[in-house]
Structures are given as structure tokens and as C-alpha cells.
Amino acid sequence: MTFSRTHIILFSIATLLLVPFVAMQFSSEVQWSAFDFLVAGILLSALGFSIDLVLKKSKNFQKRLFWVLTLIGLFVLLWAEIAVGIFGSPIAGT
């Protein structure tokens, strides 16, 4: 059985989302709602499929590296803003 890139991305996202789900079973400090899982799934999907698009379209290694690192950086900034509000924008989760 061969898996497509889409299957690998979706499996990776599901695996990453299992981390907070399992942590919720053992700690009261992790409290995610269904909406939190939905937002995290959307963000991780956008990151995964964007990286996949960059890897498909760009042939130059330096351009690939630049765009992948840029996407990861933007993802981390957005994730941090949603989680703790480092910029104090209206989307902050605090």
C-alpha cells in the first residue's frame, strides 16, 4: 500500500493533535476545547499543504529553504499570538 503526500500530511497532523489530547487525560493544565483542536488542525493543515506546494513548485534548494523557513516562522508567530497574545491583537487567546 502506498500513501500519497496528502495522506502523510493528514496523518502527521492527526498525530500532532494527539499530543494535547493525551496530555488532557493526564493533566488539568492542558484544557483544549473542540474549537482549539479545530483551529490547530486548520493551522497545521495550512502549514503542511503550503510546504508541500513550495516543495512541488520550487526546484531551487535555496528558494525552497527560504520559503519553508518563512512559512514555519509565520506559523510559529501566529500560533504564539493565538496562544498567549504576544502582540496583543484581537485574536489573542488571553
Query: Could you tell me the pLDDT band of residue 91, with boundaries at 50, 70 and 90?
Result: confident
Q: Taking 80 as the threshold, does the pLDDT of residue 92 lie above it?
A: no
Q: Taking 80 as the threshold, does the pLDDT of residue 93 lie above it?
A: no
> What is the domain partition of the chain in residue ranges?
5-84
| Amino acid 90: pLDDT | 80
Question: Cell digits for 25?
Answer: 487525560
| Amino acid 1: pLDDT | 67
pLDDT tens per residue across span 27-70: 999 999 999 999 999 999 999 999 999 999 999 999 999 999 99
Residue closest to 83 by CA, chosen among 27, 20, 22: 20
Q: Taking 90 as the threshold, does the pLDDT of residue 89 lie above it?
A: no
Residue closest to 69 by CA, chosen among 44, 47, 42, 45: 47
pLDDT tens per residue across span 62-88: 999 999 999 999 999 999 998 888 887
| Amino acid 61: pLDDT | 96
